[in-house]
Structure 1
Amino acid sequence: MISKLFKSRTAAKASAPSVPEGQRVYAVGDIHGCADLLDELIALIDADDAERGPADTLLIFLGDLVDRGPASAAVIERLRTLSATRGNVRCLLGNHEEIFLGALDGEPKALRLFCRIGGRETVLSYGMESTEYERLDYEELVHRLTDLVPGEHRAFVGNFEDMIVIGDYAFVHAGVRPDAPLDRQRTADLRWIRDPFLDHRTRLEKTIVHGHTMTDDIEHRTHRIGVDTGAYKSGKLTALGLEGSDVWHLQTAGPSLEDAST
């Protein structure tokens, strides 16, 4: 009996997903223009990383850096600088970045959608006054966006990735189509999928770490870990930590009870 119990525990531990030895990963959920929360979370990550000792540390940002919150331009600049100075930063392209890039390119459908899903806040974060935004038509807005958004921001976002695979984990923005192998996923699903992925109940080729779908807290399921805790609404920006088979998370505090009641 003791022997069988030991074997069962060993097998369970061996089946837990892991990252390669010597690596440490922090995966950050949807920021949505909350630069203050980003700075707070990076400070938490740096302190946690130092406390845990030496490792090959990587920061993965799961997409949706922009829109809805008030400081998208500052978020992009912060991560662009962080990537250039540290070299251990990788970013995924979320559906909001996809629409942002399409709007910058003057695609009519993308521009209209951009304005409906929080793009106004992104435009204002680049220095446009709200009165000017309200009086511009779509064609005029494209020209102003081109003037306001620095080329280095456009280039930085344009180089974001669709999927990152590390050990037993795959990092994407929205999710994957469960009936397709990872190397045959459509980019539209990686950036936009919800129900077919969220409703799936069994293990997949890798454990999927994703953002895109807001939950009150980090969400662990058999096949996935959701890390979008609705920062722009809740004040909680979350990072998932991974090392070996260990899993933990860090989170900004969110509003106080006093703030929430006002």
Structure 2
Amino acid sequence: MGLFGKLFQGRSAPAAFSTPPNTRAYAIGDVHGRLDLLSELLTKIDKDRQQRPTSRDYTIFLGDLIDRGPQSAEVIDYLLRARSTLNQPIFLAGNHEEMLLRILRHDGRQLAEWLNYGGRQCVESYGIDAAALLHISPEAAQQRLRAAIPAAHLDFIASFADSFRLGDYLFVHAGIRPGIAVEEQTIADLHWIREDFLDSPARYPFMVIHGHTISSGPDEQHNRIGIDTGAYSSGILTALCIEGTERRYITT
């Protein structure tokens, strides 16, 4: 059992979760192909930074940058160009990035499932007729996708991390499996878990910040905060700003 597994069993959460001294983090929920909302939110974050200077800050994307919304390709291209100007950018992988890479690298037979799950909008943003992909072999579909999606985009997506720890906060896409050490969490749980995490009363030695599960507003619980506000359909993209023991929200 690793250190965090022991902490799950033997230590309660701190009275007040905190970032390291003089450190701020902006965590951004599921973008899902809404470049319009992302650019608006980043502008608001930049304004917030100017009004509240700090020594060090991070911009953390919680995954699911692609699918469902109309501009997956544009979102990836925008962030590829913007990452050199973002403060300490951290990109986490979501289940939708996982599905795209799995189809391209391993199993093209899952293509139809992915297209129905939001992938259709993604492939169309790269100029591909999604319906036509279903009338060719999985191998041919993979080749067509690889030809249309720039290698730089795929390399960027493949570089995404699965979790990030900052002070008393753990950032992941979907959540964690209670009772399992952080270093022993499976990729499947970090990217896909729902009820076993969402419904758990477990107290951790950190606050978990996650996306993946849509709520009408920030979902604050004693052990987790969910900030997926369904941007692709609601028009609301949410960022959680954490600094010291203070938390506040910035939204579109």
Give the TM-score, by structure 1 length: 0.87
| Cα-to-partner distance string for 1:120-165 (whole Å, 9 max, x where unaligned) | 1100101224664565453332111010100100100001001100
Matches within 5 A, 1:234-245: 234-245=234-245
Letter matched to residue 98 of structure 1: E
Looking at structure 2, the residues matched to 130 and 95 of structure 1 have their Cα atoms a distance apart, in angstroms, of 20
The alpha-carbon deviation at position 87 of structure 1 amounts to: 5.6
**Residues 1:94 and 2:91 are matched in the alignment:** no
**Residues 1:56 and 2:56 are matched in the alignment:** yes
The alpha-carbon deviation at position 84 of structure 1 amounts to: 3.0
Higher alpha-carbon Rg: 1
Letter matched to residue 210 of structure 1: H
**Residues 1:214 and 2:203 are matched in the alignment:** no
Label 1:158 to 1:230 Cα distance change in 2 as closer, same or farther (>3 A): same
Looking at structure 1, the residues matched to 98 and 110 of structure 2 have their Cα atoms a distance apart, in angstroms, of 8
The alpha-carbon deviation at position 55 of structure 1 amounts to: 2.8
Match of 1:256 in 2: none
The alpha-carbon deviation at position 188 of structure 1 amounts to: 0.8
Q: Is the 2:108–2:141 contact (alpha carbons within 8 Å) kept by the matching residues of 1?
A: no
Letter matched to residue 188 of structure 2: A
Q: Which moved more, 1:120-129 or 1:190-199?
A: 120-129
Structure 1, unpaired ranges of 5+: 1-13, 253-262
Label 1:131 to 1:197 Cα distance change in 2 as closer, same or farther (>3 A): closer
Match of 1:68 in 2: 68
SS of the counterpart of 2:247? strand
**Residues 1:18 and 2:13 are matched in the alignment:** no
Backbone CA RMSD of aligned residues: 1.6
Looking at structure 1, the residues matched to 223 and 243 of structure 2 have their Cα atoms a distance apart, in angstroms, of 18
Structure 2, unpaired ranges of 5+: 1-13
SS of the counterpart of 1:227? strand
The alpha-carbon deviation at position 116 of structure 1 amounts to: 2.0
Looking at structure 2, the residues matched to 88 and 97 of structure 1 have their Cα atoms a distance apart, in angstroms, of 21
Looking at structure 2, the residues matched to 33 and 50 of structure 1 have their Cα atoms a distance apart, in angstroms, of 27
Q: Is the 1:240–1:250 contact (alpha carbons within 8 Å) kept by the matching residues of 2?
A: yes
Question: Taking CA–CA contacts closer than 8 Å with sequence separation of 6 or more, which of the two structures ends up with the larger relative contact order?
Answer: 2
Q: Is the 1:58–1:89 contact (alpha carbons within 8 Å) kept by the matching residues of 2?
A: yes
Match of 2:119 in 1: 119
Give the TM-score, by structure 2 length: 0.90
| Cα-to-partner distance string for 1:169-212 (whole Å, 9 max, x where unaligned) | 00000000111121221111000000111001242121100000
SS of the counterpart of 1:18? coil
Percent of pairs with identical residues: 42
Q: Is the 2:59–2:90 contact (alpha carbons within 8 Å) kept by the matching residues of 1?
A: yes
Q: Is the 2:112–2:134 contact (alpha carbons within 8 Å) kept by the matching residues of 1?
A: no
Q: Is the 1:83–1:90 contact (alpha carbons within 8 Å) kept by the matching residues of 2?
A: no
Q: How many residues align?
A: 239
